[in-house]
Amino acid sequence: MSEYHNPVMLRECIEGLAIKNDGIYVDITFGGGGHSKEILKHLGEKGKLYAFDQDHEARLNAETIDNRSFTFIQTNFRNLKKYLRLQGVKKVDGILGDLGVSSYQINTAERGFSTRFDGPLDMRMNQQQTISAADVLNEYEERELHRILGQYGEVRNAKTLAAALCAERHLSPFKTIGQLLGVLKKFAPRGRENKYYAQVFQGIRIEVNEEMKALEEMLVQSAEILDEK
């Protein structure tokens, strides 16, 4: 689990939660379990921690935790309220989220999140879903590629790049990271290539996983279930 992801600002997160011994808490991005394990140290027998994650690898990590205060729920955090209700929970005392891609996902070539490796254009956080990065690149209309590259990736030449991607896929459908980088190299600013690649990958990844929509839905639900006492 330590190789999966190093918890971000662990001490600050725990202090911010102000954990009560008998409280109910939610870790919406379980990952390798670093934050969850620390929260459990502060809970008594009546306390509860519900951890969410859609990644199958995260479930495997959760299975190593033997604590009756802990419940793992394998689903996207956009389903927060629904799945807590299934557990009989209507209000919680605190919610923790470490948003983004885990170091484990980035360092696993076949997941397709990193520009450092060649591999399939996947980028799915939930590997059970059908749409991958390759699907976005091969099937989206040019205007939609322009939108996600500009809006989610903040790519300055998004319109030009979208047109180039559409032209390339007509010659050969996108399948690998190496193939995508072959196109990006023609448009990346000199000396800032890696940042440019990261921006493009970020835009595609956000679209593949519907990250902005999921985040919005989760935040609305969080406001409804957080106990104001």
- Specify the amino acid at residue 228: E
Q: Which neighbouring-strand residues pair with 94?
A: 25
* pLDDT, tens only, 37-86: 999 999 999 999 999 999 888 999 999 999 999 999 999 999 999 999 99
Query: Quick one: pLDDT band at residue 229, thresholds 50, 70, 90?
Result: low
Distance CA 101, CA 104 (A): 8
pLDDT at res. 164:
98
Residue 168 structural domain: 127-208
pLDDT at res. 2:
42
Closest by alpha carbon to 187, among 207, 166, 158, 167?
158
Q: How many domains does the chain have?
A: 2
Query: Quick one: pLDDT band at residue 5, thresholds 50, 70, 90?
Result: low
- Let me know if residue 113 belongs to a domain: no
Same domain, 152 and 201: yes
* CATH code at position 199: 1.10.150.170
Same domain, 16 and 98: yes
Residue 94: φ, ψ to 5°: -170, 150
- Let me know if residue 116 belongs to a domain: no
**How large is the C-alpha radius of gyration of the chain?**
20
Overall average pLDDT of the 91-107 stretch:
86
Please determine, for residue 3, whether its predicted confidence score (pLDDT) is greater than 70: no
Distance CA 162, CA 144 (A): 8
Same domain, 93 and 132: no
* CATH code at position 51: 3.40.50.150
- Specify the amino acid at residue 207: E
pLDDT at res. 173:
97
Q: Which neighbouring-strand residues pair with 178?
A: none
